[in-house]
Amino acid sequence: MRLRRSPAWLAFGVVAVCLGGLLSAFVYLNAVESQPVLRVNRTVYRGEVLAAADLDVVQVGSGLDLRTVPDRRIGEVVGQAAITDIPAGSLLIDGTWGAAAQPTGVARVGVRLSPGRFPGGDLRPGTPFLMVALPEAAAAPADLPASVAATLVAAPAAQPDGSLAFDLYVPTEQAELVSRLAAADRISLVQQGSNR
């Protein structure tokens, strides 16, 4: 007596085998060991100092063939400078940061400027500026000090009042003058040609 094969049962068997394979793969992938590593939240440009807010923790498979940085090493990373541009959303790779070195002969100053006192656009670390002194109400233009060359250290930080805070390298001998002018809100930045 010949047995009749039902196409419906054959199709059911094929689907069951496929589902079983997918379920096995799902269980296997969930069982693979993962580890928490550091990811960069924003683009960090070469020379910028890494802050805790720039980093996040994500889980990746332990078999990933990259020199990722475990989350437990965040203390080693914060405060260090990027030695290459690190794109936003990428995993932090060992060796992409180093000690934040300040060049000799320069001082690092902070300047907060209102809109209209600085150029717009993408201002990256390393951008050269000319800091121009603005006159006081009663001062004559001839009494103004000479402009000071400056270099942007980190991306400007937005302030609640709409101004931007700039971190700048200036010649050491001009640092006091720049600080006094900044405190009196008498500085404007002129962007120079960039070598980036």
Instruction: Summarize pLDDT for 17-27 with one digit per residue, the tens.
Output: 777 777 776 66
Is residue 44 scored above 90 in pLDDT?
no
Q: Do 114 and 93 fall within a single domain?
A: no
**Alpha-carbon distance 78 to 141, whole Å?**
44
Q: Do 159 and 131 fall within a single domain?
A: yes
Mean pLDDT of 140-146: 67
pLDDT category at 189 given cuts 50, 70, 90 is: very high
Which structural domain range is residue 133 located in? 106-191
Mean pLDDT of 80-101: 84
Is residue 49 a part of any domain in this protein? yes
Mean pLDDT of 122-137: 85
Mean pLDDT of 165-174: 92
Mean pLDDT of 96-124: 85
CA neighbor of 189 nearest in space, from 156, 150, 142, 139: 150
Q: Is the Cβ–Cβ distance between 58 and 84 less than 8 Å?
A: no
Structural domains counted in the chain: 2
**Percent of the chain with pLDDT strictly greater than 70:** 81
What pTM did the predictor assign? 0.56
Q: Is the Cβ–Cβ distance between 47 and 126 less than 8 Å?
A: yes
**Alpha-carbon distance 89 to 58, whole Å?**
10
Q: If DSSP codes are grouped into helix, strand and coil, which group holds residue 133?
A: strand
pLDDT category at 196 given cuts 50, 70, 90 is: very low
Is residue 27 a part of any domain in this protein? no
Q: What integer best gives the mean pLDDT of the chain?
A: 81
**Percent of the chain with pLDDT strictly greater than 90:** 23
Q: Residue 61: which CATH number?
A: 3.90.1210.10
Q: Do 132 and 77 fall within a single domain?
A: no
**Chosen domain end from 74, 98, 122:** 98
Look at residue 29 in the predicted model and tell me its pLDDT: 59
Is residue 11 a part of any domain in this protein? no
DSSP state of 55: E
Q: Is the Cβ–Cβ distance between 87 and 75 less than 8 Å?
A: no
pLDDT category at 94 given cuts 50, 70, 90 is: confident
Q: How far apart are the first and last CA of the chain?
A: 85
